[in-house]
Amino acid sequence: MASKKSFFTALKHWFKKIFFFCLITSFLYILLCLWIIPPATITQIENLFTYNLKRNYVSWNDISYNVKLAAIASEDQAFPDHNGFDWDAIEKSLHPKKKNKKTKIPLGGAASTISQQTAKNVFLWQGAGTIGKVIRKIPEFYFTALIELIWRKKRILEVYLNVIEMGPGIFGIEAAAQHYFHKSAKNLTREEAAKIIACLPNPKIFSVVPMSRRVAWRYPQILQQMHNIEDDEDIQAIIK
């Protein structure tokens, strides 16, 4: 009995060590990513064995204003205002209104903010099935809170646009711009930016070129939302 108790004590001791080691190293990695784009993500590594990986990280000034605006318009219009979590959107997703009542639904259609998507894409895995997604939510909360605190909005959006998948094996806006329109991300027009962003959240299915029906239906809506939110001072403070 004593040996069994000592075993669990030792196990608890090692668990604490591993936990604090992961906590410290993850914090240091987040600090490091203030200056560098994450060199690799779990999602990129997974794709490496299936696709010819395309990625080309670029700085904030080499990303078109149109892309920054399109991303916020489509994925997270409350991005300048929340602390990483859009609690109103989360509540609406848990308690949807009746179909016959008109509600304002974000184009992205999800309660997941750009900050949460960045945390997931940089530090975690995509999650296979319900169990994988549920398990991922706890570290996702941790990483989201930290990047909001340490990186702030402009850096979060810059990293997001560099690491997010925008086609099969295509990561980041520069690789997407070169692949789809044979130009740099800096020179993307409003329409081109909207088309690329319209492939989210499933770029392996929603093709930009050739254009899938989903992208063809969605990108004009993104363009309209870009027009609607463009004069917002808080958004302008981030994307300019």
- Is residue 172 within 8 Å of residue 44, measured between CB atoms? no
Measure the CA–CA gap between 72 and 101, rounded to whole angstroms: 25
Confidence of residue 170 (pLDDT cuts 50, 70, 90): very high
- Is residue 108 within 8 Å of residue 116, measured between CB atoms? no
> Does some domain include residue 27?
no
What pLDDT score was predicted for residue 104?
Answer: 42
What pLDDT score was predicted for residue 227?
Answer: 97
pLDDT in tens, 59-101: 999 999 999 999 999 999 999 999 998 877 666 655 555 544 4
> Does some domain include residue 31?
no
The answer, yes or no, to whether residue 58 has pLDDT greater than 70, is yes
> Does some domain include residue 131?
yes
What pLDDT score was predicted for residue 18?
Answer: 85
The total number of structural domains in the chain stands at 1
Average pLDDT, the chain: 87
> Does some domain include residue 2?
no
Instruction: Give residue 29's Cα distance to chain centre.
Output: 18
What pLDDT score was predicted for residue 108?
Answer: 45
Q: What is the CATH number of the domain that holds 48?
A: 1.10.3810.10
DSSP secondary structure letter of residue 212: P
**Residue ranges making up the domain that contains 118:** 41-239
Place of tokens 């929603």: 206
What pLDDT score was predicted for residue 106?
Answer: 46
> Does some domain include residue 229?
yes
pTM: 0.86
Q: What does the pLDDT average to over 156-180?
A: 97
Which of the two residues, 103 and 133, has the higher pLDDT score?
A: 133
Burial of 238 (0-12, 13-18, 19+ CB in 10 A): middle
Confidence of residue 103 (pLDDT cuts 50, 70, 90): very low
Helices (DSSP H) in 81-172: which residue ranges?
87-94, 114-123, 129-150, 152-163
The answer, yes or no, to whether residue 127 has pLDDT greater than 70, is no
DSSP secondary structure letter of residue 211: T
- Is residue 103 within 8 Å of residue 97, measured between CB atoms? yes
> Does some domain include residue 4?
no
Which of the two residues, 219 and 101, has the higher pLDDT score?
A: 219
> Does some domain include residue 8?
no
End-to-end Cα separation, the chain, in angstroms: 66
Pairing of strands 170-171, 54-55: parallel
